[in-house]
Structure formats: C-alpha cells, structure tokens
C-alpha cells in the first residue's frame, strides 16, 4: 500500500541495541559464576569460544558510556542465571546481583532504559545434569530465579523478556550448540521441553505482574513470514504449515494460553505431543504478555513437500541448520531477495509483511529485540566502513516506518548488536555491532572499542527520531 504521507516514529520510541550475556560478557568463571550449557558444549576448533567474548563484564562502564554517546534510549542485554544462582536453585550469589545492579544503574545514569532478557540460551549446566528442560522441576527453578530478578531489580527495570528464541532452541537446537556426547534431544523430548518452558514463562509473566505492577513483560521469539514458492495451492499450504510450526505455535501459547490447533494435530500425529498435567492449561491461560518482542533477520520461501527425505537440506552457507521436513515443507529459493555472506536472506519488505502479520494476529505492541547483518568487518586506519550495515538497517527502519504507517504499534527497535559479540555458532569474525572490538578469532589484542561508520549514522537517526528514513 502506498501512502500520501508516512507516519512518524512515535514519541518515546525506544531506539536501542542488543547483546546477550554469554556472547558479550566473557568472565565465564568469575565472581561465583557457574558453567552454563554453553560453556560445556562441544566447541568447533575454527571459532572463538565464549570465555572472554567481548569482555563486557569488565568493560561495561566504558561500553555503556559509548552507548550513551551513540544516543541509545534503550539497551537490551541478558542476565546470566549462572551468575545469580550458580547452583540453578537455592543460594543467591550477591556478586552477581551487585554486578547487574551496577549495569542497570549505569544505564539509568545515562537515561538508557534497560531491557532485560532473563534467559538467552544459557541454562545452568548443573540443571542440565538433572535433565534440564526435560525435567519438570526446571519450571520451578526458573520461576524462583525470576522471583530473585523481580525482587532485586524490579523497581529499576520496566521491560522484561522471558526467554530468547524458544523456537530456535526447539526447532534448531544444533544452532545453539552440541552437547558433549554429540547427541541432540529427540523431537519428542524437545516438545516436552517446549511445554515446560511455556509453563515457566506463563508463571513468570504472572509473577511479574504481581511483584512489579509498573513493569511489562513479553516473550522474545524469532518471527518471520513465509512466502510460497509459487501460486500452486500446495506450496501455499506448505508455507502455512511452516509458518504455524515455526512461529505461531510459539507465540499463540503465551498470548492466547493454548496451542495452535494445526500444530497440536501435527504433534499428535507424529506422536511427539508433550505430556500435559491436569492444571497445565489453566497455568497457560492464566497469564498474558504486555507486548511481543521479536527478532527478525530473514524471511523464508517454501515449497510443497515431495514426501521423501530430499525435503530436508542444510541452509545455504550453514551446515548446522537443517531446513525442510518430510511431509511438512521444503525450503525453496527466492529470486527476488539478496543474501548476506553467510547465506541469510536480506528482505526489508518481508520485515513490514511480518510486522503486519504479527500485529493483526496478537494486537499487542511490538518491540524489535534483534535485527542486523553479520559481516567480517575490516578495521582500516582506525576506521570501519560498514556501509552494508548502514544500508541494511536503513532499509529495515524504512520498512518499519511503513508498518507503523500501516497501523502497527511499535515500542522500539534494538538491533543486533550494540557491539561486536561472538556469534552463536560462527565465531568472532561474523560481526554485527555498531562498535568494533579489536580482537581476532583467537588473538585477543587490546580489545579496544572503535566506533564504526554505522555508529555515527545510527546516532543521527536517533537524534532526528528517524525523520529522514
């Protein structure tokens, strides 16, 4: 739809940027922190591990000062459960509380709104040894951890995110990491884990509303609209299958308090439906998020399944992510979009399309908690000319402005990433930040902070509240 005039970005729009604890902090075993599952995953030899990462744990003051200079109104980061309750349950580690109190205070000193993710892939390893999310007791452990966060930081944190990309953890567990024995959980186990996470999330949202009536809380999912490869009806049905199984089934449960009917039929038919206890439905129906947080990188294009194993194939440029499912859908190419060096589709118009779909489905304000382009940035004479990142973000912000004009209610935009961090499974040279960290895959160097061209560009966008986008 074309308009005579575009709507402006709303007053108080949260112009921000994101990181996660394990990808930014380092200090993996300091001040009482216990190992998380990430610390114990098999690590590919060709990539940096997470032990030092971007040393944000020690340098957060310098980093937050730079965020303030960039003009950020919000900083989305995650708290490491392993710093707060190293045994997963029980005793609280005061050093962990003090650290995040300082981080939050530092943000507030610069009028930066802290947006806190409670759990970004890094389950305490000691809980994993007891079955992790397969074990129903992890639900209570999570809720007890959430209670500590709400009582310690609740008065200072207005926006909480429960679980980052639950759908990625369930659908593509290999992208987060491989356990020591190299064996990923079965689909049956994964959907049981999913059910337990849904219950933990519902209880946590309810607790947040009880303990922190001035705060808001929501899930942070990776959401994307799907295109059918052709106008063949079977392609459209396959695209719908995957959109439901990848997106709506994960967002419907927190918002509507029930599973998507098509997704549930799929789970029953494949005999992978979770065991549901009496009372679970009431728990799920008893809580509702205040907003939807959403990570958006790419769209996908889908063709009808051919009903055989050739439906499954690795994503281009990324052998760790398998796409397609026999009898459900098949990944197809989209000739109308470009791709990043790592094979991720670049689709700003698809961003607008996805925002429209999410808003018309849930009618909740949307907070973008990730969006960005991974690239092997080059430091030349003290500068990083990342014009491709500026282009990427400009186009996505323009698409977002169109979506706002379409009537979509947007809370803010926190692209990935505030500074360079270690990629989930592709090392340090795949960079996303506005701030370059001077380290290599293995050589840590001084780790000085260098403002990329995109830093100055984003600073200007924020100053003019996106008026020229």
Query: For the packed helices 387-406 and 453-463, what is the interaxial angle rounded to 10 degrees?
Result: 30
Nearer to ligand BG6 by C-beta: 96 or 374?
Answer: 374
Nearer to ligand BG6 by C-beta: 168 or 192?
Answer: 168
Residue nearest to ligand BG6 (CB): 423
Q: What is the 3-state secondary structure (H, E, C) of the chain?
A: CCCCCCCCCCCCCEEEEECCHHHHCCCCCCCCCCCEHHHHCECCCCCCCCCCCCCHHHHHHHHHHHHHHHCCCEEEEECCHHHHCCCCCCCCCHHHHHHHHHHHHHHHHCCCEEEEEEECCCCEHHHHCCCHHHCCHHHHHHHHHHHHHHHHHCCCCCEEEEEECHHHHHHCHHHHCECCCCCCCCHHHHHHHHHHHHHHHHHHHHHHHHHCCCCEEEEEEECCCEEECCCCHHHHHHHHHHHHHHHHHHHHHHHHCCCCHHHHHHHHHCCCCCCCCCCHHHHHHCCCCCCEEEECCCCEEEECCCCCHHHCEEECCEEEEEECECCCEEEECCCCCEECCCCCEECHHHHHHHHHHHHHHHCCCEEEEECCCCECCCCECCECCCHHHHHHHHHHHHHHHHHHHHCCCEEEECCECCECCCCCCCCCCCECCCEEECCCCCCCCCCCEEECHHHHHHHHHHHCCCCCC
Q: Which stretch binds ligand BG6 (CB under 6 A): 82-90, 143-151, 404-412, 418-426?
A: 418-426
Nearer to ligand BG6 by C-beta: 163 or 469?
Answer: 163
Using only the alpha carbons of the chain, give its radius of gyration.
Answer: 21
Q: Is 11 a catalytic residue?
A: no
Q: x-or-dash pattern for ligand BG6, window 218-247, by CB under 6 A?
A: ----x-------------------------
CA distance 85 to 32: 9
Least separation in angstroms between CB 181 and ligand BG6: 23
Residue 168 contacts ligand BG6 per CB under 6 A: yes
Least separation in angstroms between CB 383 and ligand BG6: 24
Structure tokens given for 449: 């902070």
Residue 371 contacts ligand BG6 per CB under 6 A: no
Q: x-or-dash pattern for ligand BG6, window 378-417, by CB under 6 A?
A: --------------------------------------x-
**Considering only residues 251-310, where is the footprint of ligand BG6 by CB under 6 A?**
295
Nearer to ligand BG6 by C-beta: 138 or 167?
Answer: 167
Q: Which of 113, 165, 243, 325 is catalytic?
A: 165
Residue 449 contacts ligand BG6 per CB under 6 A: no
Residue from 165, 229, 252, 347 binding ligand BG6 (CB under 6 A) = 165
Residue 20 contacts ligand BG6 per CB under 6 A: yes
Residue from 370, 377, 386, 420 binding ligand BG6 (CB under 6 A) = 370
Residue from 424, 437, 450, 466 binding ligand BG6 (CB under 6 A) = 424
Residue from 76, 315, 425, 449 binding ligand BG6 (CB under 6 A) = 425
Residue 315 contacts ligand BG6 per CB under 6 A: no
Q: Which stretch binds ligand BG6 (CB under 6 A): 185-193, 224-232, 277-285, 423-431?
A: 423-431
CA distance 102 to 259: 39
Residue from 203, 352, 398, 430 binding ligand BG6 (CB under 6 A) = 430
Residue 164 contacts ligand BG6 per CB under 6 A: yes
Least separation in angstroms between CB 312 and ligand BG6: 20
CA distance 202 to 207: 9
Residue from 423, 439, 452, 455 binding ligand BG6 (CB under 6 A) = 423
Q: Which stretch binds ligand BG6 (CB under 6 A): 60-68, 161-169, 193-201, 440-448?
A: 161-169
Q: Is 370 a catalytic residue?
A: yes
The label of the residue with tokens 């009536």 reads 213
Residue 54 contacts ligand BG6 per CB under 6 A: no
Least separation in angstroms between CB 222 and ligand BG6: 6
Pairing of the two strands 330-332 and 338-339: unpaired
Nearer to ligand BG6 by C-beta: 195 or 430?
Answer: 430
For ligand BG6, the binding residues (CB under 6 A) are 20, 23, 164-165, 168, 222, 295, 370, 374, 416, 423-426, 430
| Residues with catalytic roles | 165, 370
């Amino acid at each position: 739809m074309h308009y005579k005039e575009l709507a402006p970005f709303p007053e108080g729009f949260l112009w921000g940027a994101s990181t996660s604890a394990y990808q930014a902090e380092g200090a993996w075993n300091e001040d009482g922190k216990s190992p998380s599952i990430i610390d114990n995953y098999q690590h590919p030899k060709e990539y940096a591990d997470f032990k030092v990462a971007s040393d944000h744990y020690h340098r957060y003051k310098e980093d937050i000062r730079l965020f303030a200079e960039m003009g950020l109104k919000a900083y989305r980061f995650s708290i490491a459960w392993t710093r707060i309750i190293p045994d997963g349950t029980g005793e609280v580690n005061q050093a962990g509380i003090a650290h995040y109190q300082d981080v939050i205070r530092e943000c507030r000193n610069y009028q930066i709104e802290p947006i806190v993710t409670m759990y970004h892939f890094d389950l305490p390893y000691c809980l994993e040894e007891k079955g992790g999310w397969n074990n129903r007791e992890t639900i209570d452990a999570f809720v007890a951890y959430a209670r500590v966060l709400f009582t310690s930081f609740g008065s200072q944190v207005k926006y909480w995110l429960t679980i980052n990309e639950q759908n990625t953890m369930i659908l593509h567990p290999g992208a987060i990491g491989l356990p020591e024995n190299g064996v990923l959980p079965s689909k049956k186990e994964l959907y049981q884990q999913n059910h337990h996470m849904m219950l933990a999330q519902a209880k946590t949202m309810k607790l947040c509303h009880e303990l922190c009536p001035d705060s808001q809380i929501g899930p942070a999912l990776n959401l994307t609209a799907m295109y059918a490869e052709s106008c063949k009806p079977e392609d459209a049905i396959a695209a719908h299958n995957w959109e439901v199984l990848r997106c709506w089934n994960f967002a419907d449960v927190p918002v509507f308090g029930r599973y998507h009917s098509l997704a549930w039929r799929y789970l029953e038919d494949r005999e992978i439906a979770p065991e549901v206890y009496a009372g679970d439905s009431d728990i799920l129906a008893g809580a509702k998020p205040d907003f939807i947080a959403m990570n958006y990188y790419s769209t996908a294009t889908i063709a009808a399944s051919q009903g055989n194993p050739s439906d499954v194939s690795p994503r281009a440029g990324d052998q760790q992510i398998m796409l397609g499912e026999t009898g459900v859908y098949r990944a197809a190419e989209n000739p109308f979009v470009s791709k990043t060096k790592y094979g991720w589709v670049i689709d700003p118009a698809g961003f607008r399309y996805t925002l429209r779909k999410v808003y018309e489905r849930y009618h909740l304000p949307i907070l973008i908690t990730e969006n960005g382009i991974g690239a092997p940035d080059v430091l030349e004479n003290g500068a990083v000319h990342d014009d491709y990142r500026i282009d990427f973000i400009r186009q996505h912000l323009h698409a977002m402005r169109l979506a706002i004009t379409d009537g979509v209610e947007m809370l803010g935009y926190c692209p990935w990433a505030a500074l360079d961090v270690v990629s989930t499974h592709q090392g340090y040279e795949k960079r996303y930040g506005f701030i370059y960290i001077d380290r290599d895959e293995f050589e840590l160097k001084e780790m000085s902070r260098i403002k990329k061209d995109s830093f100055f560009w984003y600073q200007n966008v924020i100053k003019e509240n996106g008026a020229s986008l």
